[in-house]
Amino acid sequence: MEFETLAHYLERLSGISGRLEMTDIVTELLNKASDDLPLVVSYVQGKPFPPWDRRELGIAEKTMVKAIAKATGYTEDNVEKLIAKTGDTGIAAQELFDKKVQTTLGYRKLDLDEIAAEFGKLASMSGSGSADRKIRHTMDLLNNASALETKYLARLLLSEMRLGVGEGIMRDAIAKAFNVDPVLTERAYSMVNDYGEVASIARDKGERGLRAIGIRLFRPLRPMLAQMVHSTQEAIDNKCTVFEKKFDGMRAQVHVKDGKVRVFTRRLDDVTTQFPDIVAAVEKGVKCENCIIEGEAVAYREGNPLPFQRLSRRIKRKYDIDEMVKSIPIKLFLFDCMYLNGENLLLTSLESRRKSLESIVAEHGALILSPQLVTSNAAEADVFYKAALDEGHEGVMCKNLEAEYKPGSRVGYMYKLKPVSESLDLVIVGAEWGEGRRTKWLGSFLLACRDPDTNELLEIGRMGTGLKDEQLQYLTDLLKPDILEQKGKSVRLRPNLVVEVGYQEMQKSPTYASGYALRFPKLIRMREDRGIDECDTVDRVDDLYARFVKKK
C-alpha cells in the first residue's frame, strides 16, 4: 500500500469520533492491505514498530522541527511557532509543506514497506553524529511525501497518531474485516501481543488459525489482571478461596528457554538487562527445560520490604545497573506458571499450575513461592489480611483455585483487597518549566484519565505544589525525552508515565476535557510499571464523584 493511501484513510479517521464509524473505516482499510497488513495495523495505532519490538526511532520534537525547517525552507523559529499555534506537529508540517515553494528533485511515492525499511535505518542510528543523520534522514522522508502525507508521517515519527484507534476498535475491525469472532481475536492478541500478526492470521487462516495460536517463549503474554473486592467475604462469594499477600513490587513475567532467562514487566517491556539479579535468582532456583512463570519482584533491605518507589527506579535504568543491584536488591515471590516444558498450562486450574510451579522451584533467599492460605472461612481470611497489612504489604490477592489463566483480561478469577483508597492512577500529559530556583525543573504536571472506549486521554487537573526538589529532578529527568511540544513555558508530553495521585476534592469543571477537576492533587507515587492504557478511566472518576457528592 502506498503511504498516500494510508494517509487518506487516516485523514478520514481524524474527522470522526464515533466508535462504530471508526471501526468501519479501519475495517475497510484492513481489507485494502496486502502483505503489508501488519504495518497498516501498527501505523494506524501510531506505532512505528510492533509492540514486542524493542527498537525506537528516537525522533524528538526538536529533530522534527529541524527536519521540517530544512525541507521546507522556513526557519526553525517559524516551524516552532506554527506548532505552538496549531498544537500539532503533523498539522504544522502539512501547512508548511503545502506552502512550500521549492520543488524537490527526484520525488517518489513511498509505500509502507519502504517506510518500514526507513524506520529500521533511523532506529539503528546511534553514537556520534547520529542526531544530524536523523535530521537528514527525516528530511528526506518528508521530502518524498505530499503535504497530507507529511501530516501523518510526522505524527508517526513522533509515535503520536492521536486518532483514538485503540485496542478495542482494532479488535472489532479485524473481526469484521476477516469475519472472525472478536473474542477469539482478542485471545490471540493476548498470546502474541501484536494485532498486526493477529490480523494476518485472521485473514489468511481464519478462526482455525486464531485458535491455533499458542504461547511463544520470549514473547510476553498479556498478564491476567485483578478486579477489586471490598471484603474477604466478597472474595469468597466470588469463589476465591486462595489468599496471598499483595506484594508491593513489580510484576515480573519470566521466560526460560534453552538455559536463557528473560524478564518482562506487566507492560510487556523487556527488562532483562535491568534485572540481572532476577535472572540469577531464576537460574539458581528454577529447574526446567523451558517455562513461563510469574511473580512479584520486591525491593528489600535488611529483611524489610522497601516501597515500590525504590524498585521502580530500576525499571528504566540503563546505566550503573550493578550498583543498583547492590543498593536495591530484590526478592522474587512466585505465584504462577503458565507454560512448562513445552506445555501450555493456561487452560488448567490455578491449583494445578501452582503444583507445576512448585515442581520446578527450589526456593532460596531471593526466590520464594508466594505463601498461600486456602480457606472459605472469612474470619480466617481476615486474620491473614490483617497480618499482611501489619507486615507492610498492600493487602491481599484472592484467587479462584479452579480458574484458568486468562491473559490480558480482568476476569473474576483474581481479586485484590486493600484498604479503601480514593486515589487515582493518572497519566502525565503536560507540564510547565518552573520559575526562579525551579527553572531547571518541570512542574505543574497536567494529569489525564482515559476514555475506555476510545483510549483518548482526558485532562483532569494539574499537580503542582508539594513536590520535593528530589522528586522534581527525578520527574524532569524521566519526562524530558517525552517533550513533544513547547509553547512558552508549557510543554506537551508524550503520554508515558502513570502516577498515583491523591486529592482533596473533586469538582465538575468545564476547564478539562474529562469534565472534572481535581483540587490539590498530590503525588503518592510513580507507577512506571503501568502502561498508559492501565490508568484510571473517566468511568471510575464518575463513580468516585458520585460517592463524593453523596458523602457531602
DSSP label at residue 488: T
Stretch that binds ligand AMP, among 243-251, 313-321, 380-388, 544-552 (CB under 6 A): 243-251
Q: Which three cell numbers stand for residue 458?
A: 482526558
- Cβ-closest residue to ligand AMP? 251
Nearest-approach distance from CB 467 to ligand AMP, in angstroms = 23
Interacting residue with ligand AMP among 9, 152, 178, 247 (CB under 6 A): 247
Residue 163 lies near ligand AMP (rule: CB under 6 A): no
Interacting residue with ligand AMP among 8, 416, 438, 525 (CB under 6 A): 416
Stretch that binds ligand AMP, among 242-250, 282-290, 348-356, 509-517 (CB under 6 A): 242-250
Ramachandran assignment for 84, one of left (phi > 0), alpha (psi -120 to 50 degrees), beta (any other): alpha
Nearest-approach distance from CB 410 to ligand AMP, in angstroms = 9
Q: What is the spatial distance between Cα 26 and Cα 199, in angstroms, rounded to a whole number? A: 12
Site for ligand AMP in 171-210 (CB under 6 A): none
Closer to ligand AMP by Cβ: residue 245 or 313: 245
Residue 133 lies near ligand AMP (rule: CB under 6 A): no
Closer to ligand AMP by Cβ: residue 247 or 275: 247
- Of the candidates 520, 492, 515, 517, the one whose C-alpha atom is nearest the C-alpha of residue 507 is 517
**Catalytic residue flag (residue 121):** no
- Of the candidates 157, 147, 66, 146, the one whose C-alpha atom is nearest the C-alpha of residue 119 is 157
Cβ proximity of 393 and 320 under 8 Å: no
Closer to ligand AMP by Cβ: residue 72 or 370: 370
- Of the candidates 218, 179, 171, 223, the one whose C-alpha atom is nearest the C-alpha of residue 196 is 171
Give the x-and-dash track for 357-376 against ligand AMP (CB under 6 A): -------------x------
Interacting residue with ligand AMP among 246, 267, 310, 354 (CB under 6 A): 246
Other beta carbons less than 10 A from residue 122's beta carbon:
21
Closer to ligand AMP by Cβ: residue 36 or 500: 500
From the list 47, 66, 246, 406, the catalytic residue is 246
Q: Which three cell numbers stand for residue 403?
A: 480458574
Residue 525 lies near ligand AMP (rule: CB under 6 A): no
Cβ proximity of 529 and 264 under 8 Å: no
Give CA angle at 338 (335, 340), nearest 5°. Answer: 110
Interacting residue with ligand AMP among 67, 148, 191, 226 (CB under 6 A): 226
Residue 275 lies near ligand AMP (rule: CB under 6 A): no
Name the CA dihedral angle for 81, 82, 88, 91, rounded to a multiple of 10 degrees: -160
Stretch that binds ligand AMP, among 57-65, 77-85, 240-248, 318-326 (CB under 6 A): 240-248
Sign of CA dihedral 374, 287, 404, 197: positive
Q: What is the spatial distance between Cα 45 and Cα 521, in angstroms, rounded to a whole number? A: 31
Site for ligand AMP in 296-335 (CB under 6 A): 296, 335
Residue 384 lies near ligand AMP (rule: CB under 6 A): no
Residue 494 lies near ligand AMP (rule: CB under 6 A): no
Stretch that binds ligand AMP, among 19-27, 54-62, 239-247, 301-309 (CB under 6 A): 239-247
Closer to ligand AMP by Cβ: residue 245 or 462: 245
Residue 499 lies near ligand AMP (rule: CB under 6 A): no
Q: Which helix (H) or strand (E) holds 222?
A: none
> Under rule CB under 6 A, how many of the chain's residues touch ligand AMP?
12
Burial class of residue 128 in the structure, from the number of CB atoms within 10 Å of its CB (0-12 exposed, 13-18 middle, 19+ buried)? exposed
Residue 19 lies near ligand AMP (rule: CB under 6 A): no
Q: What is the spatial distance between Cα 11 and Cα 7, in angstroms, rounded to a whole number? A: 6
Cβ proximity of 449 and 550 under 8 Å: no
Interacting residue with ligand AMP among 8, 100, 136, 251 (CB under 6 A): 251
Q: What is the spatial distance between Cα 398 and Cα 325, in angstroms, rounded to a whole number? A: 31
Q: Which residues are catalytic?
A: 246
Which positions touch ligand AMP (CB under 6 A)? 226, 244-247, 251, 266, 296, 335, 370, 397, 416
